[in-house]
């Protein structure tokens, strides 16, 4: 393949990846505590064959090499549900997946299982500071959750403390669906956070920014496609001219 065309094609592939991420951001605008994502791009150098100086044979391609995640807080939304909690500041709730493995989320839209275990909206038990699922007494109705995550009631007293953890590097978090993450990195107790009962954190995706980026990427993709088309036309004309001369 012609070098110019292959470079342009790498650009198009990268833009297609970027468009997928933008579309996913827009699709999750209403997802509780969803964090906006961006594609990270880098330069990939390849040395072409030939006898010219090495510096003149370096071909620069564009390549996406990962995703960065914007971990800033979303807006707070009042629900009035005593089992809804919003996490403001650093940290994530620790939950237990169905297979027993640990996962992490900021989705504080909680519910009660049939056995009064406190679970996420997708059914995973949320854990306390001892790493155990939180089970509420079946006769408690006046649940109170304080700013530090202490769960209590006037009748039962203190029940548990939510385990809010943080990470030295949030980029190590791997998305696994249902707005949850896993990581092999060590956790540490979060300190700079506040829990707000009766509220949830909204997505931090801003529609106007995503739509603007989508338009920009779309225009850039079309421009690159037109450039590739012109290059192919030029090559075809050159080949036809050479054929006539021959």
Q: What is the DSSP string of 57-118?
A: GEEEEEEEEEEEE------EEE---TTBEEEEES-EEEEE-TTS-EEEE---B-EE-TT-BE
- Burial, 145: exposed, middle or buried (Cβ in 10 Å; 0-12, 13-18, 19+)? buried
Considering the domain architecture, whether residues 23 and 38 belong to the same structural domain is answered as yes
Looking at residue 202, its pLDDT comes to: 96
Lowest model confidence (mean pLDDT) among 8-12, 111-115, 128-132: 8-12
* pLDDT classification of 235: cutoffs 50, 70, 90: low
Q: Calculate mean pLDDT across residues 142-168.
A: 93
pLDDT at 93 over 80: yes
Question: How many whole angstroms separate alpha carbon 92 and alpha carbon 83?
Answer: 17
Looking at the structure of the chain, the number of domains it has is 2
Q: At what angle do helices 207-245 and 3-27 cross, to 10 degrees?
A: 160
pLDDT at 68 over 70: yes
Considering the domain architecture, whether residues 33 and 133 belong to the same structural domain is answered as no
Considering the domain architecture, whether residues 97 and 63 belong to the same structural domain is answered as no
Looking at residue 48, its pLDDT comes to: 59
Looking at residue 174, its pLDDT comes to: 92
Question: How many whole angstroms separate alpha carbon 28 and alpha carbon 24?
Answer: 6
Considering the domain architecture, whether residues 27 and 118 belong to the same structural domain is answered as no
Domain that holds residue 177: 76-201
Considering the domain architecture, whether residues 34 and 100 belong to the same structural domain is answered as no
Looking at residue 61, its pLDDT comes to: 67
Looking at residue 45, its pLDDT comes to: 60
Considering the domain architecture, whether residues 81 and 195 belong to the same structural domain is answered as yes
pLDDT at 173 over 60: yes
Looking at residue 172, its pLDDT comes to: 87
pLDDT at 242 over 80: no
3-state SS of 134-156 is CECCCCCCCCEECCCCEEEECCC
Q: Calculate mean pLDDT across residues 34-52.
A: 73
Considering the domain architecture, whether residues 80 and 193 belong to the same structural domain is answered as yes
Question: How many whole angstroms separate alpha carbon 62 and alpha carbon 44?
Answer: 6
Q: Calculate mean pLDDT across residues 9-31.
A: 90
Considering the domain architecture, whether residues 143 and 80 belong to the same structural domain is answered as yes
> What's the pTM?
0.80
Considering the domain architecture, whether residues 142 and 158 belong to the same structural domain is answered as yes
Considering the domain architecture, whether residues 178 and 216 belong to the same structural domain is answered as no
Considering the domain architecture, whether residues 127 and 235 belong to the same structural domain is answered as no
Considering the domain architecture, whether residues 50 and 139 belong to the same structural domain is answered as no
Looking at residue 44, its pLDDT comes to: 61
Question: How many whole angstroms separate alpha carbon 34 and alpha carbon 25?
Answer: 9
Q: Which residues of 112-122 are buried (b: 16+ CB within 10 A; e: fewer)?
A: eeeeebbbbbb
């Amino acid at each position: 393949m012609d070098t110019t065309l292959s470079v342009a094609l790498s650009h198009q592939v990268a833009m297609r990846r970027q468009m997928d991420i933008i579309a996913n951001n827009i699709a999750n605008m209403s997802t509780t505590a969803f964090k906006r994502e961006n594609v990270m791009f880098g330069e990939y150098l390849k040395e072409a064959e030939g006898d010219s100086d090495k510096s003149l044979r370096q071909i620069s391609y564009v390549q996406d090499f990962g995703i960065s995640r914007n971990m800033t807080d979303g807006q707070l939304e009042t629900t009035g549900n005593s089992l809804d909690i919003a996490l403001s500041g650093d940290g994530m709730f620790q939950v237990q997946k169905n297979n027993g493995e640990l996962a992490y989320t900021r989705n504080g839209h909680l519910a009660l299982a049939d056995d009064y275990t406190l679970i996420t909206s997708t059914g995973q038990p949320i854990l306390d500071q001892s790493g155990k699922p939180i089970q509420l007494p079946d006769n408690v109705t006046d649940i109170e959750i304080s700013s530090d995550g202490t769960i209590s009631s006037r009748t039962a007293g203190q029940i548990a403390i939510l385990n809010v953890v943080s990470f030295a590097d949030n980029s190590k978090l791997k998305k696994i669906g249902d707005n949850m993450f896993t990581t092999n990195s060590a956790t540490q107790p979060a300190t700079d956070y506040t829990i707000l009962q009766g509220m949830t954190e909204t997505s931090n995706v801003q529609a106007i920014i995503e739509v603007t980026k989508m338009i920009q990427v779309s225009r850039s993709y079309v421009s690159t496609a037109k450039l590739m088309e012109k290059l192919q036309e030029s090559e075809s004309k050159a080949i036809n001219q050479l054929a006539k001369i021959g």
